[in-house]
Amino acid sequence: MSSPIVEVRNLSKRFGDFTAVDQISFEIQPGETVGLLGPNGAGKTTTFQMLLGVVTPTEGSIQMFGLDLMTHRETILRQVNFSSTYISMPFALTVEENLKVTGKLYGLSDINRRIDDVVKKLEMEDIRKKLTRKLSSGQMSRLTLAKAVMTEPKILFLDEPTASLDPDIAHKIKGFLKEYRDTSGLSMLYTSHNMREMEEMSDRIIFLQRGKIVAQGTASEVVAQYDEDDLEQVFLKIARDE
């Protein structure tokens, strides 16, 4: 087996007397999609923030590509990106201009080629020159995803990428992500409150509750651990225990 692309060891984050993340450890392998699940307040967002280097852990370590995030932050983050339905983009710029800004921030030398590629794959030709403030929620989701994948990351962190989207748009985004993963070897850490989506997209599930990992494994293994019929019933059971 190849070395993990992400290694998290005994990771904790405390805000005063409140422990948001409590001694969690997990790995993500190259080409693997790991689903991060848990009720609101379980520690998912704080975990994402630590993995992206915007929040400093209280304890523990994060390694990506065999390097420590705290000491090799810039090198690591050039190979990482993040997409969320809730991201805001500069509204006064067009779709294409926003993508060009991303390319320049990452120091890409072939920006136009990459823009052409993601615009085609995410079916954005008709909105390429459209002002961002005029985009629908589905169009905005495609823009934030295009921004994330045009840098050709080795790992992509996805925070509810299909939330509030029409089923047809959500289906297209999931299809794009699966195809991109299969052709590029991309690793993903994925969150969603749609349990069917989590089962469809994830190779493994990590369940957080009160900042701790309470279950992990394939969706079927997690369901069996809690002696329930499906992942949604497991989620409801864990949420009731909060």
Taking each helix axis as running N to C, give the angle between helix 95-105 and helix 111-121, from 0 to 180 degrees, rounded to the nearest 10: 130
Domain closes at, from 136, 152, 168: 152
Same domain, 64 and 165: yes
Same domain, 199 and 107: no
Give the global pTM: 0.91
- Residue 242: its pLDDT value, please? 57
Average pLDDT over residues 196-217: 94
pLDDT > 80? residue 241: no
Residue type, 2: S
Number of Cβ atoms within 10 Å of the Cβ of 235: 20
Count of structural domains within the chain: 2
Q: Cβ neighbours of residue 75 under 8 Å, at least 6 residues apart?
A: 67
DSSP state of 95: H
Average pLDDT over residues 168-180: 90
The domain of 94 spans 85-152
Domain closes at, from 126, 152, 178: 152
- 169 pLDDT band, cuts 50/70/90, is confident
- 1 pLDDT band, cuts 50/70/90, is low
Average pLDDT across the chain, whole number: 93
Q: For position 209, which CATH number holds? A: 3.40.50.300
- Residue 25: its pLDDT value, please? 98
- SS3 for 139-184 is HHHHHHHHHHHCCCCCEEEEECCCCCCCHHHHHHHHHHHHHHHHHH
Say if residues 15 and 142 touch (Cβ distance below 8 Å).
no
Domain closes at, from 133, 152, 171: 152
Same domain, 104 and 207: no
Same domain, 144 and 159: no
Same domain, 139 and 211: no
Same domain, 69 and 162: yes
- Residue 44: its pLDDT value, please? 94
Same domain, 93 and 186: no
Q: Which residue has the higher pLDDT, 172 or 64?
A: 64
Give pLDDT tens digits for 112-159. Answer: 999 999 999 999 999 999 999 999 988 998 999 999 999 999 999 999
